[in-house]
Amino acid sequence: MTDPSPRTAVVTGASSGIGAATARSLAAEGFHVICAARRLDRLVSLAREIGGTAVQCDVTSVASVAELARTAGDRIHVLVNNAGGAFGQDTVADADPADWRRMFETNVLGTLHAFQALLPALRAGGDGLVVNIGSTAGYVSYEGGAGYTAAKHGVRTLTETMRLEHVSEPLRFTEIAPGMVRTDEFALTRYSGDATRAEAVYEGVREPLTAHDVAEAVAWVATRPAHVDVDLMVLRPRAQAAQHKLHRET
């Protein structure tokens, strides 16, 4: 007999942007999605829309992530570590260590906390998949971005090490590394709410990636056969040939 219950996915940072879009895409593929983030009001609305479950969670807190694991239950099939972000764009000489600490705690330690807490449930699922949302910043450094690139390099090597350490188990590990993605909040957060600076990031760029583009990539990976491990997927808009090569129309 087959198990009639739906497969379960946990998505962190699900209150907006790539996380919310990923929750919708996985729900469309038949997953019951546990939507986790700090802003509960947004999660409740999203969970109601997709028939999922809303869980308030701060991935930088071990206790909060432990509560997420209790809510998720004994068995899950997909964990999408999406919670993260960039804060500031100062040079190394002028950087605020507090911004760097926030980026490391959300992008790297948040991924670690969620994986450790949910690993038993992923093992119990029989073919667990971990998708870590990295960035092309995890592969190429650029001026003014050392704190963020250091954090995303951390996500990159964390994903690779997970795969090495669990190769004997029926677990899969994927990094999705997007280039320029236009969301409602990423650039605004980076520039502390300065809408002018945030808008300038995308000025002249025809069709940056959207959150939905990244979410579709996650859903595709999550629906591959259990023996297929997509190690890495790099996504860029057509206008972005590399981290420093971006075509802007005037």
* Cα maximum dimension of the chain: 62
Cα gap 36→64, rounded to integer Å: 10
Amino acid at 160: E
- 233: part of which helix (H) or strand (E)? strand 232-235
> CB 102: neighbour CB atoms within 10 A?
18
For residue 191, indicate whether it is catalytic. no
Give the Cα-Cα-Cα angle 240, 152, 62 (nearest 5 degrees): 145
Contact, 100 vs 147, CB < 8 A?
Answer: yes
Q: From the candidates 139, 142, 148, 202, which is the catalytic residue?
A: 148
Quick one: how far is CA 131 from the chain centroid? 7
Catalytic residues: 148
